[in-house]
Structure 1
Amino acid sequence: MKLFYSLLTVILITISACAQQTDSEVKAENPEKINYTSEIVVPDLNIPWGMVFLPDESLLITEQTGELIHFKNGKKTFIEGAPEVYFRGQGGFLDIEIHPDYENNGWIYMTYSSTEGEGDGGNTALMRAKLDGNTLVEKQLLYKASPNTRRGQHFGSRIEFDNDGYLYFSIGERGERDVNPQDITRDGGKIYRLNDDGSTPSDNPFVGTENAKTSIYSYGHRNPQGMAIHPSTGAIWINEHGPRGGDEINIVEKGKNFGWPVISYGINYSGTPFTDITEKEGMEQPLFYWVPSIAPSGMAFVTSNIYPEWEGNILVGSLKFAYLERLELKNNKVVKREKLLEGLGRVRNVIQGPDGYIYVAIEKKGIVKIVPKK
């Protein structure tokens, strides 16, 4: 009888979710015509987690195992002085970004899993440093999540600057689903907003709230591994992993609760439910969600006229299905999904370079450039 009711609950949740899955019913399609080619720009990388172009159009690339690579003029150089990472499960050397005024101040920002602080294990940290030749110098730890834990999942973490110069970064809920994401006195399952020096902006939503982590900007997240600034509105967009179903795209808003794990379009990996609702007052609905999950990674908006049919679209990597997904938008609604670069490997990241081309980081392969056919 217990088994019957468990199965009935799963069926009811599935029916309820399907009734609301207007967005996720937009199925990912293979392109009718392949109008691009791909070429390897940086070969022989293992898990290239983060990448950023410097003003000279060379690349800085993080390998999850802890290496920082400078790729310039066809040559890889391993940078000395990279932060020591806690390489476990999904943890390691994560994202990398440069300051909007990098040419004048030289600041480079990195997220990684770190053992610093109390407790066994690690948690996500944010550092900035400068590059002197082939060495990182002037390293400053700007934020370190606590407590440390030996859990190997959900470190996040992406970095983005908005048009006002504020720094946003994500930390996953570290596998503590029922503890961290809904509690603003705890790290994990949050989007954070800092000044570029690591200090907390005075207008952050929880400044003045007793015991709150004042760097939190939004909460109720699971594991955001994609982040990009909208080219027109300047809003910060993220994607985040759901469990079995319920991956999401969200637009970050000040002080908003994005619901995890109280509401979700997903279920446990075992197939059992953990919540029976997909909506609740005071909690935000996703702009888009995936059922089944694709395990979204890096994301980027296309603004380049090199890809005229893709302008204004979002590109999102799929770790689970090993392709790059193109999502066509109309009025902030996904109206078309298309699979790109199928069969090359797990897509970890995607960015648009200063030359206007799209660059995709693929595990066990390297950095691939998408080139339209003439």
Structure 2
Amino acid sequence: MSATELLQTPLHALHLELGARMVPFAGYSMPVQYPAGLMAEHQHTRNAAGLFDVSHMGQLRLSGPEAAAAFESLMPVDVIGLAPGKQRYGLLLTDEGTIVDDLMFVNREDHLFVIVNGACKHGDLAHMQQRIGQRCTIEPQFDRGLLALQGPQAVTALQRLLPGVEKLVFMTGAAFEWQGRPLFVTRSGYTGEDGFELSLAAADTEAFARALLAQPEVQPIGLGARNSLRLEAGLCLYGNDIDTTTTPVEAGLNWAMQKVRRSGGARAGGFPGAARVLAQLDGATPPERVRVGLIAQERVPVREHTELQSEAGERLGEVTSGLLGPTINQPIAMGYLPPAFAAPGTRVNALVRGKAVPMVVAPMPFVPNRYYRG
């Protein structure tokens, strides 16, 4: 796709003004880094507060008396029982029990507010309309702005503009106003740090972003550091670590499936691919591969699609995400291995340009999460 065909977020002119290096991502022209560089941006987010433009992601509104029950029929997740103001992670599944997309949703009392991945948003919308469009109203809000403010000082900076936002805890949301303009804020993010995501009208996005960047704690952060931060936090990237070849159990996302939707639960099953997913959860038919964390024992970055082998040279699986972790200062990766090789401490080799690089299976996250739970 040429630069002229790429879509632009409401912050495009601001990114250029700030000296960002722009790249194509999910059909948009997006900042991969600013002049400070990826390493400095990563460390600034870990130590202070980083502002990310995530307006390429898809925002949707599901409304009507059946909205929660309808949405729950698409996922192995408790939607009906989610209290007002609470947020939850969800997984849209195929009829084979594999992952169409991962998403976040909030119960806003009169509707469900849903955020899906940018590269998947049009497909997700079609998927929802086809399957539950008769049961609830599904409104895409793909023209809205979405900002993420992440890091230990995010709350200090944000509460100057939005007093009261400090009362939110991890995975909750509320409506706010700034200079008479409405915003919806959740205390969540994709870095493993405390932080917030803010949905607002496209026309208000640049002014609010500038107000945040005027705070001494805040610096602009690009997609490069967003990727290194989420990998250190052990978080999946759709299209790399999870996709329509992966089930939630293979991906280690059992925690995202509440008891009420599992075997024996009050509303067990009833979602696409339930037979396969529940059989994997129960251990009746265990998965043949599982997602693991890996730390390289040599200072060699191990990238996605790198083959993983046993020490005897047998092919076991492959890396799905990998880079030099700036905080941990070691090459880290995620990948899929047979369960027999998935225990922490297990040694495998990654085949990098024909050379075997020793790796050790490690628990995730690689860097402890610092979500604010109150």
TM-score (norm 1): 0.25
